[in-house]
Amino acid sequence: MTSPAVQIPGYIAGTWDLDPVHSTIGFIARHLMVSKVRGQFTTFEAQIVTAPNPVDSTATATIDLSSVSTGNEMRDNDLRSTNFFDVETHPKMTFTSTGVRVDGETLVMEGDLTIRGVTKPVTLAVDINGFGPDPFGGTRAGFSAIAEINRTDFGVSFNAPIPGGVMVSERIQIEIEAEAVLRKEE
């Protein structure tokens, strides 16, 4: 069964590589049940294939978990430890899309996220921010995506009880701002 075509102004089909200088892959966790702590990964690669029909598009990403940065070296080292990511054993987090669909005004990308060797489905709400030329003779595309996961589903279960709650939330928000460069035809 063929999916209905989605109309996106200025849409360009092709294969795109994420520009790590102009992209962020970040997360938000609640801390001590009273505030939010933000972090990001500074080393990653991703490819997006925009198909002629956008709902047939795909994406893959690999994130170096040792590149986690929250602005606090002690917290970053704890996140790298066996308490959280266990980067010695599981150095990478990966995402592979499994499908795209339209939900009202939102484009939704379903995929498999792997953390600490555990793979679970995740749903990204995607905004397509636009397509256009860059000053180097290339073409760029911009995408924003958000998702929420339960970190304990992936074996990231360390926590410490505190009066009235726990130190770190189980629910983690994922925020992606992606600028990608269209591969030139060879």
Q: What is the mean pLDDT of residues 115-144?
A: 96
SS3 assignment, position 19: coil
Q: Hey, what long-range contacts does 69-74 have (CB within 8 A, 24 or more apart)?
A: 69/39, 69/40, 69/41, 69/42, 70/37, 70/38, 70/39, 70/40, 71/39
Q: Identify the helix (H) or strand (E) that includes residue 79.
A: helix 73-80
With cut-offs at 50, 70 and 90, classify the pLDDT of residue 4: low
Mean per-residue pLDDT for 139-145? 97
How many C-beta neighbours within 10 Å does residue 117 have?
10
Contacts for 136 with CB less than 8 Å, ≥ 6 apart = none
**Are 26 and 172 within 8 A, CB to CB?**
no
Residue 43 to residues 20, 35, 59, 74, 80, Cα–Cα distance (Å)? 7, 26, 17, 19, 14
Q: Facing residues of 93 across strands?
A: 63
Residue 186 has pLDDT above 80, yes or no: no
Contacts of 34 (CB under 8 A, 6+ apart): none
With a CB cutoff of 8 Å and minimum separation 6, the contacts of 1 are none
Of 102, 78, 104, 80, the residue nearest 90 (C-alpha):
80
- Angstrom distances, CA of residue 11 to CA of 59, 97, 116, 138, 150: 16, 20, 36, 15, 33
14-179: CATH, from 3.40.50.1010, 2.40.128.110, 3.30.1540.20, 2.40.50.100: 2.40.128.110
How far is it, in rounded angstroms, from Cα 159 to Cα 77? 15
Local confidence band at 1 (pLDDT 50, 70, 90 cut-offs): very low
pLDDT digits (tens, 9 = 90+) for 53-90: 999 999 999 999 999 999 999 999 999 999 999 999 99
pLDDT at residue 48 greater than cutoff 80: yes
Q: Per residue in 102-120, pLDDT tens?
A: 988 789 999 999 999 999 9
